[in-house]
Amino acid sequence: MDAELQADRAALADTVQRFAESEIAPNVQAWDDTGEFPRALYARAAELGLLGLGYPEALGGTPASYSLKLPAWIALARHGKSGGVLASLFSHNIGLPPVVLHASDEVRNEVVPAVLRGEKIAALAITEPGGGSDVAALRTTAKRDGDHYVLNGEKTFITSGMRADWITVAVRTGEGRGAGGVSMLLVPGSSAGLTRIRLAKMGWLCSDTATLHFDNVRVPARYLLGDEGAGFRIIMSNFNGERVGLAAGALGFAQACLDEALAWSRERKTFGAALIEHQAVRHKLVDMQMRIASTEAWLEAVSAEGDAHEAAGRFNAPEWVAQVCMLKNHATQTMQFCADQAVQILGGMGFMRGTVSERIYREVKVMMIGGGAEEIMKELAARQLGWL
């Protein structure tokens, strides 16, 4: 890694840490209790350039490689200590890329800059009540009617679903079933016929999550992203960046659990000695650090490899996609292990609302499922490696 990149990473990580420690972490419990965080947080994150990180300068963003974005993702998780905040505050990172890559210039300029300024919220809607991982079997339809598409169907588990101003929706424009009939359509949140139902969850309590109903929703045809029938490939490509981000977040949350457990073990005394003086506790902490170190090293390697592939124009290289899938599983398993061990070290306090480890313990499962469940990741990795 060259000196300039190292300096940029350090400066970005410092900015993110200060933002997370001052404006996110102190408020997380109150936001969890109310079920959302203020929309003003989007504008504040935009002022610092965080919403635009990785987007074209012409659209109001700052181009950034995986390697540059990595410390920002990790620091937001480690020092913000809330998956719910990160999920909704950065839901545009899964909703906007299809717009940036596949919309017309007119639509890009209409949509992207306002989101990166924190004025509008973008979301992605793929999952349906009748199926999650089987994207090719989705049933929400979009029928062409003159200069519009007419949408009917339902999406669920949609992050930022309650207040998104723009929703990138996977729809079926072709007849029958299968990947070939899937398209991507950008739907304005103000569309007539769109209704939203808030969902109650185990974790991510301050992230609004919704079921969306489309009842004869008319969407201008100019909001079609790419060609009809090309949606499945767009979706699969979009998953790669999401999974690297999830892995980075999982690492940060694992570090947050270790931070809390280590501080507690130094302060808490049992049987006349600090917890850390007991071998069993020290070994738990070392086991946590061991998994964190392996995840960090793998994440750095996969990010650097992804940057090299993109520089060479080898997007979605099979061997890299396989690494992303396996890394996503490894990172979330690290998060799960560290959350479990931290709660155990904290004892009764680890079961109390308001501790970092308790919150992350509840949030870990959505990280292991979202962006592709463990089982799907293993199967996709095997196929990308050419084993089938």
Active site residues: 242
Alpha-carbon gap, residue 141 to 183, rounded angstroms: 9
Query: Which residues have a Cβ under 8 Å from the Cβ of 335 and sit 6 or more positions away?
Result: 250, 251, 253, 254, 257, 360, 364, 367
Alpha-carbon gap, residue 189 to 212, rounded angstroms: 10
Nearest to 227 by CA among 188, 176, 174: 174
Q: Are the beta carbons of 77 and 86 closer than 8 angstroms?
A: yes
Query: Which residues have a Cβ under 8 Å from the Cβ of 321 and sit 6 or more positions away?
Result: 240, 380, 381, 384
In the chain, where do the E strands start and end? 122-125, 141-145, 148-159, 166-172, 182-188, 194-198, 209-220, 224-225, 269-270, 273-274
143 bridge partner residues: 150
Alpha-carbon gap, residue 3 to 231, rounded angstroms: 40
Q: Are the beta carbons of 187 and 194 closer than 8 angstroms?
A: yes
Which letter, b or e, does each residue of 156-185 get, where b requires 16 or more Cβ atoms within 10 Å of its Cβ? bbbbbbbbbbbbbbbbbbbeeeebebbbbb
